[in-house]
Amino acid sequence: MEFETVCGLEVHTELLTKTKVFCSCEAAFGGEPNTRCCEVCCGMPGALPTVNARVVELAVRCGLALNCEITRYNKFDRKNYFYPDLPKAYQISQLYLPICKNGFVEINDSVNGKKKKIRIHEIHIEEDAGKLIHQNGKSLVNYNRAGVPLLEIVSEPDLSNGTEAAEYTKKLREILLLCGISDCKMQEGSLRADVNVSVREKGSAALGKRTEMKNLSSFAAIKAAVDNEAKRQLSVIGNGGSVIQETRRFDEKTQASLPMRSKEEAMDYKYFPEPDIPPLVISGEFIGSVKASMPELPDEKRARYVSLGLTPYDAELICSDLKLIALFEKTLEITDAPKETANWLLGEVTVLLKCGEVEAEKLGEIINLLLDGKITRDSAKRTLEACVKEGAEPLAFIKENALEIVNDLSLVGDIAERIISENPKAVSEYKEGKEKALNFLVGQCMRELRGKATADSVRKAILEII
Ligand code: ADP
Ligand code: MG
Ligand code: ZN
């Protein structure tokens, strides 16, 4: 019998809001433990939640970006469970009427390379829990994260392997990032995925029993969790056993999963409508205004970059980083050379960004000077480095260091003359047909000229003489 893997993802993303979802405590990552808390997010009796309007806006934006229908009449529900990181002993979520549903994301099919639609079942709003820290035989709790707004994006089981699951998550990340919905810092937990995996006879319509692995926080872990879990299930079946529905823990070190607990059912959570929050009605006007404020989506942006002459690979690299996108677009306001700019961004600039800010104005100016033949590529690199590390101004730095290409042909000629007379061996080697000997002579001249002439004019001068 031939088997296939079936996978669906529940992706949690923390929203880029100033404040929490039901109170006005600060929502940013970190902070002194338990300083970003109030009676609402800590669940004091009688404290009442209020829905953060910005959360609703970002949820609608996410729904539109993922091709969803927006639910106009929304309600919140209580999901009850007892765990010390949840101060209210329930999480406010949306079970019956999620804010967005029936969307899709396109990824590349891992088998035939064509576009494949991964359907989105729903997106709902919920609140994050606090954090438990276990140390020295004690458990400490930090409620700063309790009540931080989350969107949970639930896919249909349309993914066929770990590669597709990782690519789907990458796609989501790019969309969330470019739409300003989340900072998607996976190492800080602001984007994490629960992975559901089952196997079934190839071509069968029925779904197999699935297991779930929670809170995976890297693309590599997502890919390995899916593929290794499918393998494990196949071997269980191959040995005559059957897969049991359960939650498993994926261990990054061993790249394998271990049983954790039997899967809880909706019934276990005793869901009921949240009585403290009135229904939330979203107007067509509001949806229209969110639509009007939507930024360019990653697929559109990539296609536009490719139409400017970038390779799909370069376009993808730039689109995965907000800083590079901003630099690219701003630099193009100054210089009219997209491909050259992209090369700088993915080479020199990526290195220099580790040392300081790279200003688009200066980068654009330097690229213009280079393309106008005013400075050599080496001088251009030196200049940018000085701009980033020492705050230099391009023109002033070039003047001070006499980097302008003079193309003063008499100077080039004089130096070529001298280098030729000092290196008779190289000259005769060249005359015997050794191309390398000419490069050596050019190099010697360039060193003397210290970037004041182009290699082309030096080569010409040497050839004229010999
Ligand atoms: P729950 O909320 O209890 O985890 P859902 O039915 O909402 O369960 O499904 C959660 C996720 O699991 C969805 O992304 C869905 O696509 C996926 N899923 C459901 N059944 C299967 C299955 N048999 N194999 C793989 N994934 C599945
Ligand atoms: Mg689940
Ligand atoms: Zn609070």
pLDDT above 90: residue 412: no
**Dist. CA 211 → ligand 2 center (Å):** 10
Pocket of ligand 1 contains residue 8 by CB under 6 Å = yes
**Dist. CA 157 → ligand 1 center (Å):** 7
What one-character-per-residue DSSP string does 19-75 give? B-SSS-SB-SS--STT-S--TTTTT-TT------HHHHHHHHHHHHHTTPEEPSEE-
Name 149's Cβ contacts closer than 8 Å, sequence gap at least 6: 14, 15, 17, 20, 21, 27, 52, 55, 58, 125, 127, 128
Rounded to 10 degrees, the C-alpha dihedral 86/90/91/94 comes to 170
pLDDT above 90: residue 403: no
Ligand at shortest distance from the CA of 9:
1
Burial code (b: 16+ CB inside 10 Å, e: under 16) for 100-137 equals: bbebbbebeebeeeeebebbbbbbbbbbbbbeeeeeee
Instruction: Catalogue the E-assigned strands of 223-298.
Output: 246-251, 256-262, 272-273, 280-281
18 and 208 in contact (C-beta within 8 Å)? Answer: no
Name 395's Cβ contacts closer than 8 Å, sequence gap at least 6: 365
Extract the tokens encoding 130.
């606090």
Pocket of ligand 1 contains residue 10 by CB under 6 Å = yes
Separation between Cα atoms, residue 248 and residue 171, nearest integer Å: 25
* For residues 254-274, average pLDDT: 83
Which residue of 154, 160, 248, 271 sits with most ligand 1 atoms within 8 Å of its CB, as the best mutation to test the pocket?
154
User: What phi, psi does 199 have (nearest 5°)?
Assistant: -125, 155
Pocket of ligand 1 contains residue 248 by CB under 6 Å = no
At 373 the three-state DSSP class reads: coil
**Dist. CA 49 → ligand 1 center (Å):** 30
- CA distances (Å), 57 to each of 97, 183, 283, 285, in order? 17, 16, 12, 12
SS3 content of the chain, % helix, strand, coil (to 5): 40, 20, 40
Pocket of ligand 1 contains residue 9 by CB under 6 Å = yes
**Dist. CA 198 → ligand 1 center (Å):** 10
Ligand at shortest distance from the CA of 39:
3
Ligand at shortest distance from the CA of 40:
3
pLDDT above 90: residue 142: yes
The percent of residues in the chain predicted with pLDDT above 90, rounded, is 83
Pocket of ligand 1 contains residue 157 by CB under 6 Å = yes
100 and 59 in contact (C-beta within 8 Å)? Answer: yes
**Dist. CA 184 → ligand 3 center (Å):** 22
Separation between Cα atoms, residue 311 and residue 419, nearest integer Å: 41
Candidates 78, 88, 22; CA nearest to 50 is: 22
Separation between Cα atoms, residue 81 and residue 258, nearest integer Å: 23
pLDDT above 80: residue 340: yes
Pocket of ligand 1 contains residue 208 by CB under 6 Å = yes
Q: Which of 7-16, 250-259, 304-313 has the lowest mean pLDDT?
A: 250-259
What pLDDT, on a 0 to 100 scale, did the predictor assign at position 266? Answer: 64
What pLDDT, on a 0 to 100 scale, did the predictor assign at position 373? Answer: 86
* For residues 160-183, average pLDDT: 96
Nearest CA to ligand 1 atom 15: 8
Extract the tokens encoding 321.
């980083």
290 and 61 in contact (C-beta within 8 Å)? Answer: yes
Pocket of ligand 1 contains residue 59 by CB under 6 Å = no
pLDDT digits over 58-89, tens only? 999 999 999 999 999 999 999 999 889 999 99
pLDDT digits over 273-318, tens only? 999 999 999 999 999 999 999 999 999 999 999 999 999 999 999 9
Side chain identity at residue 202, one-letter code: K
146 and 132 in contact (C-beta within 8 Å)? Answer: no
Q: Which atom of ligand 1 is nearest to the CA of 264?
A: 3
Separation between Cα atoms, residue 116 and residue 252, nearest integer Å: 29
Rounded to 10 degrees, the C-alpha dihedral 211/215/221/223 comes to 50
Pocket of ligand 1 contains residue 6 by CB under 6 Å = yes
Ligand at shortest distance from the CA of 154:
1
What pLDDT, on a 0 to 100 scale, did the predictor assign at position 448? Answer: 86
**Dist. CA 154 → ligand 1 center (Å):** 8
CA atoms within a 13 Å half-sphere pointing along the CA-CB vector of 438: 17
pLDDT digits over 349-365, tens only? 999 999 999 999 999 99
